[in-house]
Amino acid sequence: MLTTLGAVKLTPQASTTQRSPLRATILGPKDRAPHDIVLSRALIVPPTVSYARLGGIAYVKITSFNSSTTTSLERVLEQASHEMGKGLRGVVIDLRDNPGGLLDQAVTVSELFLKRGRILSTSGRHPDSNQTFDADGHDLLNGLPVAILVNHGTASAAEVVAAALQDQGRAVVVGTASYGKGTVQTVHELPNSGELIITWSRIHAPSGYVLNNVGVIPNVCTSKVALEGREAVAQVIDTVRSGRLDTSAARYLLHANGRPDTLETRRLRASCPARSGEGEVDVAVAQKLIEDRSLFLRALQPPGPEVAKRE
C-alpha cells in the first residue's frame, strides 16, 4: 500500500504553465518500488450556489461570490421555474454566513432580480474611486416575492445584494443585522512579486447610506425573539401583521442620515442585534411571508417619518 509522499518531480515545462502536467513520485513500503503518477493542473472553481424545494418555494443558498456565482444562480432559478412552473410562489435567498467575494458578481446577481435602478455606488478620496452601478438586467422571476436571509456572518458582496434588493423594494430581508463590511480594496503588484492591498473606497447602498460598520438592517428581525420553533415564528409573523416591526425606525434613520455617527450606528444595530448561526426560524418566517402576499407587502413597505416617530 502506498502511504508516503516522498518527492515531487516536475517535468521541464511543468513550472511554466498553469495547466501543464505535474509528475509525482510516491514512496511505498520498502518491498515496493517507487510509483510515479501524473497530475493535471486545472483551475478549480468551487460551487457557491445550491438549491432545494420548500413546497412551492425555491430555497437558494449562496455561500460566497466567485466568478461563477451569477451563472450558477441563473441556472438554478431557471431549474426551479421549469420544475414548479406556475406553482412557484417565490424564492428564499440564504446569504447567512456568506463572507462576500467579487463585487462584480454582486452587481450581476442583483441584476437577475432588477430591471433597472441603482445597485450601489462607491466614494473615496481619488476621483476614480467614485463610481455608480445601475441595473440593466431582466427579472428572471417576473416580480415573484423574494426573501433574503442575513446574519452577523453576511458581509461585503453579500451585503451589497441584500441592500440593493431591499432598497429597491424587490426583497424582504429577514434575520439579524449583517456584519458591516462595506469597503472596496484595490491590489497593486510590487517589484518583488508581492502585493499591496489598499482600501480604495466606501460602498453606499442605493438609498445612499454607507454599508461599512453599519451593515444591512433587516425588514423583519428575528434576533430579539426569546421563543423557539413554531412559537417564535408565530411571534415574528404577528409583529409583521400588526405593523410593529422593530426595525422600522432604525431603517428610516439609516436611509435618512446616510452616514450615521458611532453612537447612532450602535443604536441602529441594537434595533436588531447581530447574531451568528442559521436557525430554522429565519427560513420559516421567510416562507410565511412569501406564502401570504399581504404580509409580504406589509413587511416590504419602507418606513416613513411617522413610523420612526412612533417607534
Q: What is the mean pLDDT of residues 70-75?
A: 97
171 φ, ψ (degrees, to nearest 5)? -145, 150
In a domain, 196, yes or no: no
User: Same domain, yes or no, for 85 and 211?
Assistant: yes
Q: In the Cβ-directed half-sphere of 178, how many Cα atoms lie within 13 Å?
A: 33
27 contacts 18 by C-beta, under 8 angstroms: no
Query: What one-character DSSP code corresponds to residue 239?
Result: H
Pairing of strands 195-204, 118-123: antiparallel
Positive or negative torsion for Cα 178, 179, 185, 190: negative
| Band of residue 278 on the pLDDT scale cut at 50, 70, 90 | confident
Write the CATH number for 68.
3.90.226.10
User: Same domain, yes or no, for 77 and 225?
Assistant: yes
Nearest to 41 by CA among 65, 13, 66, 69: 13
Q: What is the mean pLDDT of residues 52-75?
A: 96
Could you read off the pLDDT of 157-198 as tens digits, one per residue? Answer: 999 999 999 999 999 999 999 999 999 988 889 999 899 988
Long-range contacts of 37-43 (CB under 8 A, 24+ apart): 41/17, 43/18, 43/19
User: Same domain, yes or no, for 112 and 157?
Assistant: yes
177 contacts 270 by C-beta, under 8 angstroms: no
User: Same domain, yes or no, for 263 and 142?
Assistant: yes
**How many domains does the structure of the chain reveal?**
2
User: Same domain, yes or no, for 267 and 170?
Assistant: yes
In a domain, 201, yes or no: no
d(CA 46, CA 72): 11
Write down the pLDDT at residue 310: 39
* pLDDT higher than threshold 60 for residue 13: no
User: Same domain, yes or no, for 31 and 155?
Assistant: no
Across the strands, what pairs with 60?
A: 51, 93
Positive or negative torsion for Cα 104, 109, 110, 114: positive
Write down the pLDDT at residue 98: 97
d(CA 291, CA 272): 24
46 contacts 54 by C-beta, under 8 angstroms: no
Write down the pLDDT at residue 19: 67
Active-site residue identified among 64, 72, 110, 156: 156
Whether 181 is a known active-site residue: answer: yes
Distances (CA, A) of 34 to 21, 40, 113: 19, 20, 56
Q: What percent of the chain has pLDDT over 70?
A: 89
Write down the pLDDT at residue 12: 40
Least confident of 54-58, 126-130, 269-273, 300-304: 300-304
Whether 50 is a known active-site residue: answer: no
172 φ, ψ (degrees, to nearest 5)? -95, 130
User: Same domain, yes or no, for 32 and 62?
Assistant: no
Amino acid identity of residue 76, one-letter, is V
User: Same domain, yes or no, for 73 and 15?
Assistant: no
Least confident of 151-165, 268-282, 291-305: 291-305
Active-site residue identified among 64, 72, 97, 167: 167
Write down the pLDDT at residue 15: 45
Amino acid identity of residue 83, one-letter, is E
Q: What is the pTM assigned to this prediction?
A: 0.83
Strand, coil or helix: 258 = coil
Q: 36 is in which domain, residue-wise? A: 4-40
Active-site residue identified among 181, 201, 246, 288: 181
Nearest to 48 by CA among 97, 117, 119, 111: 97
* pLDDT higher than threshold 50 for residue 5: no
| Band of residue 302 on the pLDDT scale cut at 50, 70, 90 | low
Strand, coil or helix: 60 = strand
* pLDDT higher than threshold 70 for residue 301: yes
Strand, coil or helix: 76 = helix
User: Same domain, yes or no, for 8 and 78?
Assistant: no
